[in-house]
Copies of this chain bind each other. A is one copy, B any other.
Amino acid sequence: MDVARSEVLEIGTSVACRSCQARHGVVCGALSAGQLIELGRHSLRRKVDAGCEIIAQGSENSFYSNIMRGVVKLCKVMPDGRQQIVGLQFAPDFVGRPFVRESTLSAEAATDAEICVFPRNLLERMILETRELQRSLHAQALIELDAAREWMLTLGRRTAEEKVASLLHLIAAHAETATATSTAFDLSLSRAEIADFLGLTIETVSRQLTRLRKSGVIRIENIRHITVPDMDALAKKISG
């Protein structure tokens, strides 16, 4: 396999910020014009290949980032190699854990992605200076907490079929290509990643996907592209 690369696209500028899709996101939407210029001056736009590790578990946090494009997975691994994905983040989410020295999880690009990288010290200073930024990050933390707890219910109490349906529902909810009822989307995760997110094996994931296909709830256009003709039918598979 190619080694996943990351490449600097440009030094950020306030000009770039103005047309940025994260301009009104969690971090940048909470900043004043002046702060935005300052942050932009010290930001880097990076392109990261799928599989590239953005933050390593146990490493020191020296930067934070906004996701500009693509999907980032948050992973925990055990000493013996067992792995659990504990969160998915989509553009324009913020990635990082302010004011904490060491990361307890790794962040890895699930798809090819672009991120906007902020230096640690600058962002932490701005959080201390800016009530609105603090409030905004607090709000994102609470949303992630709710999502984590919702997923705990999935991990602890749902069957394999319900788990797979839950994941498809989650990803479909972030897809743009939706008509009134039907939704089509790229599965941004491999079977192995889906398994690690759901606490299953790849074989079980594969079997449940074909089960959902045979029951007509999904169409597997190709290995990475799914169509859900009727979202309600999918939702029904989640809880019984």
Residues of chain A whose beta carbon lies under 8 Å from any beta carbon of chain B:
74, 76, 78-80, 82-84, 86-87, 97, 99-100, 104-105, 131, 134-135, 137-139, 141-142, 144-146, 148-153, 155-158, 196, 198-199, 239-240
Contacts and interface: CB of A to CB of B under 8 A. Distances in A.
The quantity of this chain's copies bound in the complex is: 2
Contact of A153 (B78, B80, B146): B78
B146 A144 contact: no
Question: Majority SS of interface residues in chain A?
Answer: helix
Given A82-B158, A86-B153, A97-B142, 18 more contacts: A76-B153, A78-B153, A78-B239, A79-B240, A80-B239, A84-B156, A84-B157, A86-B152, A104-B146, A134-B134, A134-B135, A137-B138, A138-B138, A141-B142, A145-B148, A151-B152, A152-B152, A156-B199
A205 to B, nearest CB: 13
